[in-house]
Amino acid sequence: MQISRRIFLRASAGAAGAGLVLGSAPWTPRLAAAEAPLVCPVEPQPIPHTNATPFGTIIHVFGPGPVEGIDPNTGHDPSLITDFSGIIAQADLNLSGTGTDLTTGESAPYEFHTDIRFMKGLFVAADGRTHQGAFAFL
């Protein structure tokens, strides 16, 4: 699987941030004890199912649809994260509204299609531990 620029940039930004923290305050046991503990994000893991997109990437998601599944890539598990136990909701909707160009101020009718979901409950994260949390697929 190819790594998108988005993933690369996010990983680089995280590494750069950590480097700045370490560079500005050399670590000593006394200093570390006096400071608030570092809080690392708890990363959930993707469902095992993969979907090869026509765009050169492979993503871990089923398209919206009944859990019985219409085809191998549609329906089935609505969750985006695996090792999960909790509540879910998903909505595949079309919306109407108004779009505004913030540079020109021009407004016009605009339509959007959206697939929004949430998952809330227990999950085993990449750290191997079970956590409680909520996530939105946007």
Partner 1 sequence: MGLHSYDPGISPTLVVWTIPIPEESAQIDLEAGTAELHVSNICSVFDAFTVANSLTPTHPLGNIVSAVFDSLDLRWSDVTRSIMGFGDPMNQFSGDFFETAATMEVTATTLESTGHGFRFVSAATTQVNFAQIGRETNGVFF
Site for partner 1 in 14-73 (CB under 8 A): 14, 41-49, 53-57, 59-61, 64-69
Nearest residue (CB) to partner 1, 21 versus 107: 107
Q: Which of residues 75-134 bind partner 1 (CB under 8 A)?
A: 76-103, 106, 108, 110-112, 114, 116, 118-120, 122, 124, 126, 132-134
Nearest residue (CB) to partner 1, 25 versus 132: 132
Amino acid at 68: E
Q: CB of 74 within 8 A of CB of 64? A: yes
Minimal distance, residue 73 CB to partner 1, in Å:
11
Q: CB of 40 within 8 A of CB of 125? A: no
Angle at 77 between CA 138 and CA 116, to 5 degrees: 15
Q: CB of 87 within 8 A of CB of 120? A: yes
From the list 6, 23, 36, 37, which residue makes contact with partner 1 (rule: CB under 8 A)?
6
